[in-house]
Amino acid sequence: MRCAELVLCSTLAEYERLERFLVAFTEELHVSQAFSDNLLFCVKELFINAVTHGNRYQEGYKVYCRLELHADALVVTVLDEGQGFALEALPDPRQAPFCEQLCGRGLFCMQSLVDGIAVVVNERGCAVTLRWKFIH
């Protein structure tokens, strides 16, 4: 298993560092541009959610990103220091009145791009884990 980790300050300006980290990782894997784009989209959404909803822009809080390359899958975990949420409790953004809102679709869109998504809340914070299976 190959693993890479990045610790980010809880500010949206840190996304540039995260993007460079992700691009370097995907270039080493020699994945398709479509896969790389999906990964960047999903992790960007998780990072923005971690900063805005999880850490609520609190200075001194951190966002942790961990990439694990297994023989059969890529697993990405983004951890914030917030109180978390229940994935199943999120409203369906296709239904009124949510369909008229400008935000609230990130996690919903992610579910169609990944093979698995899990949310774990514990004393460290809220971790969202995405999993992509590899077909050899």
Q: What is the pLDDT of residues 25-65, one digit of tens each?
A: 999 999 999 999 999 999 999 999 999 999 999 989 999 99
Q: What pLDDT score was predicted for residue 99?
A: 59
Alpha carbons 33 and 54: distance in angstroms, whole number = 30
Backbone angles phi, psi at 108, to 5 degrees: -60, -45
Give me the pLDDT at residue 134, please: 80
pLDDT at 59: 87
Closest CA relative to residue 39, chosen from 95, 113, 118, 126: 113
Which domains occur in the chain, in start order?
2-133 (3.30.565.10)
Work out the average pLDDT over 9-16: 98
Q: Which pLDDT score, from 0 to 100, does residue 89 have? A: 62
Tens-place pLDDT, residues 86-116: 667 665 656 676 656 666 556 667 888 999 9
